[in-house]
Amino acid sequence: MTTIRTAHPDEIPALVQYPDDAERNDATRAYLTDLLGKGCTRPQWCLVAQDGDRLVGSVVLWSLPGGEAPTDVVLLEAPWGDPELATGLGLLTEAATVARAHGATRLGHAIDSPAQAPQFQRDRERRIDLLSRSGFAVARDGRRFRWLAGAELPAQDPRLHFRSLAELGPDPFVDLLEALLADTADARLGADVRAHGPRRAAELLFEETAELDHEPQWWEIGYDADGSPAVVSLPASNPSFPVIGFVGVAPDHRGRGYSRSVVARGTRILVENGATEIRGDCDVENIAMYKGFQRAGYDNFADRLEFARSL
């Protein structure tokens, strides 16, 4: 009989261990240790499945550092050979119960491919099946990009003049985000627009991105020669890496190569503040931003399916 329960102190940070996969075992320990140290999870948010005297599954609730309510699940492991996926379903059901008790109203989960550190999400199709059975739906089919120190720093665009959040205050940023979101190719952001309208969706995007570590002078609007706002750049750091938190090109200025320009600007800001590895994501349907990352010297190192479910 399989039991779903909170992990015991002596089971953290190892959780499920695989006898023939030391790399994944080491990555689990290091990743969970880091999450606990940064306040992205808590021991009571670490759940395991026990069958007899063995741990056969796990799931961990995640938030931004210090968050009171979890927003995502990570380190999801289960017996993937089980046709019914019973253990995985039990883990996600209990995770939803714990998340609700801490005030969460939705949960997300991302599957990266190819499988890689720190979660090594093998058995991709079985994972997708489990999430679907548990009430999750695809929120975005994304592509992940990475810039590493040693690569050429992308050149800056002399056509743009930048002014920062410290100088402008938030209103011009929300105004420009509203214009961007009214015509977005991003599935997740488009869903926010349909749910809340462009203005509130813009406010939520600004507020959520502001939860990442950043300085007001890092966030900028780039103005075209005619004085109109052309691009917005919101570089930041998440708990793992410096990131191109959000970038976008105003609808009236698209088709002029500014997607590369705005990625280059955020990259420069982060490098000047010590970044040696920078990551960024975009929707596969956002062809302009996909090309913008590539033309700024970023490598498309993984694909990411983002899932979400309401609680």
> Going from the N-terminus, what domains does the chain have, and what CATH number goes with each?
2-135 (3.40.630.30), 161-302 (3.40.630.30)
The per-residue pLDDT for 260 is 97
The per-residue pLDDT for 178 is 98
Rg of the chain, C-alpha, whole Å:
21
pLDDT < 70 regions, the chain: none
The per-residue pLDDT for 176 is 98
Helices 124-133/86-101 angle, 10° precision:
50
List the one residue out of 288, 219, 212 whose CA is nearest residue 250: 288
Q: What are phi and psi of 122, to 5 degrees?
A: -75, 175
Q: How far is CA 273 from CA 38, 240, 279, in A?
A: 20, 16, 15
Per-residue pLDDT tens for 47-76?
Answer: 999 999 999 999 999 999 999 999 999 999
What does the alpha-carbon distance between residue 43 and residue 112 come to, in Å, rounded to a whole number?
25
Residue indicated by tokens 């950043």: 214
The amino acid sitting at 95 is A
The per-residue pLDDT for 38 is 96
The per-residue pLDDT for 299 is 97
The per-residue pLDDT for 1 is 86
Q: How far is CA 294 from CA 93, 115, 143, 287, 310, in A?
A: 39, 22, 11, 11, 34
Residue 298: CB atoms within 10 Å: 25
Which bin fits 132, alpha (ψ -120 to 50), beta or left (φ > 0)? alpha
What does the alpha-carbon distance between residue 93 and residue 259 come to, in Å, rounded to a whole number?
41
pTM here is 0.94
The per-residue pLDDT for 145 is 98
Residues 100, 268 contacting (CB under 8 angstroms): no
> Which residues, 6 or more positions from 8, have their beta carbon under 8 angstroms from its beta carbon?
none
Which bin fits 114, alpha (ψ -120 to 50), beta or left (φ > 0)? beta
Residue 7 DSSP one-character state: P
Per-residue pLDDT tens for 158-217?
Answer: 999 999 999 999 999 999 999 999 999 999 999 999 999 999 999 999 999 999 999 999
The per-residue pLDDT for 6 is 98
